[in-house]
């Protein structure tokens, strides 16, 4: 039996890395990169360059529409060297199929040549495809590092449990809600149904990780 009054981010702190180990998972395995949409204020304050005022702005403005939006906020307070030092530790995963070249270039260690490789293999159907294609150019350790910063949106109607559980902030309870309303006919249906359990900001955050039906 459902309890629609249980709104809010009841699962937002669970599995912050979103790091599933199954090869089908659609969000890269996390090795310690903090997600700005989910991190606690204490975790954010522990990162280089983030003072209390900037942390408060991050918390007030999240969820971010994408890494470009987050970068724009930080760029108003931090210089290029500070951002370069920060992004290996704080990053919002980018959608491999929709992100801009500018966002790809924000991924630590990615230059113009690798950005071109990211783009060449679109559309990605699975994260495993990313691993395979990018593995043509760098070794497995570097592929594992890069996958922390990217994701492939899930198909709401066919995604496996492993796919769904790889989403940042996902827990078993919300997994059940994602699956209960299948088949989804529209993104509006997703917003309406999932909005019974979490607030509008959390629905907007989750929506970024799904493909529109």
Residues 111-126 have pLDDT tens digits of 999 999 999 999 999 9
State pLDDT tens for residues 7-50. 343 333 333 333 333 445 699 999 999 999 999 999 999 999 99
* Percent with pLDDT over 70 in the chain: 88
Q: How many domains does the chain have?
A: 3
Q: Could you tell me if residue 145 is inside a domain?
A: yes
Both 162 and 197 in one domain: the answer is: yes
pLDDT value at position 20? 35
Q: Could you tell me if residue 74 is inside a domain?
A: yes
Among 128, 152, 176, give the residue marking a domain's end: 152
Vertex 88: Cα angle to 86 and 89 (nearest 5): 70
Q: Could you tell me if residue 3 is inside a domain?
A: no
Both 55 and 95 in one domain: the answer is: no
Q: Could you tell me if residue 7 is inside a domain?
A: no
Query: How far, in Å, are 29, 56, 77, 182, 193 from residue 150 at the CA level?
Result: 10, 25, 25, 26, 27
Both 178 and 200 in one domain: the answer is: yes
pLDDT value at position 113? 97
For residue 201, the enclosing domain spans 154-211
Residues 163 and 24: their CA atoms lie apart, in Å, by 6
Both 161 and 137 in one domain: the answer is: no
pLDDT value at position 24? 53
Among 152, 169, 188, give the residue marking a domain's end: 152
């Amino acid at each position: 039996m459902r309890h629609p009054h249980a709104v809010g981010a009841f699962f937002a702190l669970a599995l912050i890395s979103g790091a599933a180990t199954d090869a089908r998972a659609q969000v890269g395995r996390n090795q310690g990169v903090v997600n700005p949409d989910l991190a606690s204020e204490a975790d954010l304050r522990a990162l280089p360059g983030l003072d209390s005022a900037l942390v408060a702005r991050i918390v007030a403005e999240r969820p971010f529409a994408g890494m470009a939006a987050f970068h724009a906020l930080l760029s108003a307070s931090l210089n290029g060297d500070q951002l370069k030092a920060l992004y290996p530790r704080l990053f919002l995963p980018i959608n491999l199929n929709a992100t801009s070249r500018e966002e790809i270039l924000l991924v630590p260690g990615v230059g113009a040549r690798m950005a071109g490789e990211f783009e060449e293999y679109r559309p990605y159907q699975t994260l495993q495809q990313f691993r395979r294609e990018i593995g043509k150019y760098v070794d497995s350790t570097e592929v594992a590092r890069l996958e922390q910063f990217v994701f492939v949106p899930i198909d709401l109607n066919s995604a496996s449990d492993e796919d769904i559980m790889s989403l940042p902030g996902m827990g078993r309870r919300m997994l059940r809600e994602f699956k209960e309303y299948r088949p989804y006919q529209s993104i509006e249906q997703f917003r309406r149904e999932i909005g019974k359990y979490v607030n509008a900001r959390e629905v907007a955050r989750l929506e970024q990780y799904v493909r529109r039906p």
